[in-house]
Amino acid sequence: MKNETQGTDRKAFGLRLDQALMKELKYLGVDQDRNMNDLVEEAIKDLLKKHKKKGK
């Protein structure tokens, strides 16, 4: 499995997700050969980018 976050500074963060959402995320990770952390981080970055554009 590819790990795009390897070798960078990280801080652990607890997260609770809906079970159905978690299941979809696991399947997506398998389909894309990526770990769940990478997918969640990408989603958060996209969300922050979206809101930065709205504020300008």
Structure tokens at 33: 């050969």
Quick one: pLDDT at residue 8?
Answer: 75
Higher pLDDT, 4 or 9: 9
Quick one: pLDDT at residue 20?
Answer: 98
Domain ranges of the chain: 19-55
Buried b (16+ CB within 10 A) or exposed e, 25-37: beeebeeeebbee
25-28: long-range contacts (C-beta < 8 A, 24 or more apart)? Answer: none
pLDDT band at 1 (very low <50, low <70, confident <90, very high): low
**pLDDT (tens digit, 9 = 90+) per residue, 13-53?**
999 999 999 999 999 999 999 999 999 999 999 999 999 98
